[in-house]
Amino acid sequence: MTPPAANPLPMEKIELIQRSLSAFGFGLPGIVPFLGTPFAIVALVQNSRIKRRFGAFWNPAQRYLFWGSVCARIGVTLTIILSLLRALAGLVSLLG
């Protein structure tokens, strides 16, 4: 993998901004447990691709990328916690 250029082309800047806003757009519904999990996964994949490809570039939409990632991580965490609690409740009802 080659390192990114020091100064990106205008089309690369546009792509960076669009992908950051897209990650935010997928991260917002990703905060909903269970239903938002596919959106959260897409947002997290977008985030990692952006970081890998445009890591050193200045990103004017960095806040959107950050908050999209935060929302997606919250949604995935809530889904895991609620799934574990539901499984634990089912186990307790079987044993009790």
CB contact at 8 A, 12 and 50: no
Q: What is the pTM of this model?
A: 0.85
Which of 50, 56, 60 lies closest to 6, judged by CA?
56
Residue range 18-60, pLDDT digits in tens: 999 999 999 999 999 999 999 999 999 999 999 999 888 889 9
- Which one, of 15, 75, 88, 17, lies nearest residue 41 by Cα? 75
pLDDT at 1 over 60: no
pLDDT at 90 over 70: yes
Alpha-carbon torsion (20, 22, 25, 26), positive or negative: negative
Place of tokens 């890591």: 55
Share of the chain above pLDDT 90, in %: 77
Whether the per-residue pLDDT at 10 is higher than 90: the answer is: no
